[in-house]
Amino acid sequence: MISAFPETTTFLTILAIFLLAGTVKGSLGIGFPAIVMSILPIIVEPALGVALLAIPIFVTNGAQFLTVTGWPAITRRFLIAGISVAVTIFVVVQFVDDVPSRWINIAVGVSLVLFALTSLLKLELRMTEHPAWQFVAGITSGLIGGLSAVKAPIMIYTVGLKLPREEFICAAGFLFFMGGIGLTLGTLSASLLNGVTTLFSLICCAVALVGFRIGAMIRKRLSDKVFRTTILWVILALGLRLIFTNVL
């Protein structure tokens, strides 16, 4: 893990990626870690991308989750899934620095492809809030999210529940928030977040929040459907690129 900030061009490029991802999140409400991890491994080690995403994921999803009415009830309903994803991510992150970048890139690629395809194809598997479903969703999200910070199974699970809009936003926000807790504590425990990377992650978080504001302002000026579809196809293409370039 880095012990000093990267050179200026790389540093500014990383900030630009977080600004772009924040803008997409502000415009569409999805895709923040997916955008970051679809581009960042091209220029830096994927483990650094996971570390830099830890604080922004924790902060942004915490803000989303805690501002929705009824969040205490949602917490109780999905506590098993939340604890499962947090604990699994915490454990998996301990080994990220020991896993060859090639395999992390493949995991990132698979996560991106899953995320894009489930959104593009509108796959809606019928699921329930039964503890077994929650446990499976939490564990699979944690295994993928610990290596890539992209937790596609959470989106698949919450969509499959067919919740009312406000409950869906709150439930997804809660599970991503719990994943953010596991990711932040895990990266700290594994020393992926040190003095330099913690400050770097905080800077990326501030830049992402600026992007959210920009995205919110331009949201009304864009065709959500066209923009969303374009972004998802780009994520799919980048995910496939990561898989094929690291498998072949």
The pLDDT tens digits of the residues spanning 66-119 come to: 877 788 999 999 999 999 999 999 999 998 888 887 887 788 788 888 878 877
Please report the DSSP string for 80-147 in residue order: HHHHHHHHHHHHHHTTGGGS-HHHHHHHHHHHHHHHHHHHHTT--------HHHHHHHHHHHHHHHHH
How much is the pLDDT for 222? 66
Tokens of 71: 């969040």
Side chain identity, residue 229: T
User: Percentage of residues in the chain with pLDDT exceeding 70?
Assistant: 94
Q: Which pLDDT score, from 0 to 100, does residue 14 have?
A: 95
Q: What is the pLDDT of residues 12-46, one digit of tens each?
A: 999 999 999 888 877 776 778 888 888 888 888 88
| Residue ranges per structural domain of the chain | 8-242
Query: What does pLDDT average to over the chain?
Result: 85
What is residue 41's predicted lDDT score, i.e. its pLDDT?
83
The pTM of the full predicted model, rounded to 2 decimals, is 0.83
> Taking the chain, what is the end-to-end CA distance rounded to the nearest angstrom?
27
Dihedral of the alpha carbons of 160, 134, 179, 236, in degrees to the nearest 10: -30
Cα 59 to chain center, whole Å? 12
Q: What are phi and psi of 230, to 5 degrees?
A: -60, -45
What confidence score (pLDDT) does residue 204 get? 95
For 123-166, the pLDDT digits (tens) are 666 789 999 999 999 999 999 888 888 887 887 888 788 888 77
Using CA atoms, how far apart are residues 14 and 33, in angstroms rounded to an integer?
Answer: 13
Residue 229 confidence (pLDDT) above 70: yes
Question: Token pair 């301990």 is at which residue?
Answer: 94
Is the pLDDT reported for residue 200 higher than 90?
yes
Position 18 scores a pLDDT of 95
Question: How many other C-beta atoms can be found within 10 angstroms of the C-beta atom of residue 229?
Answer: 13
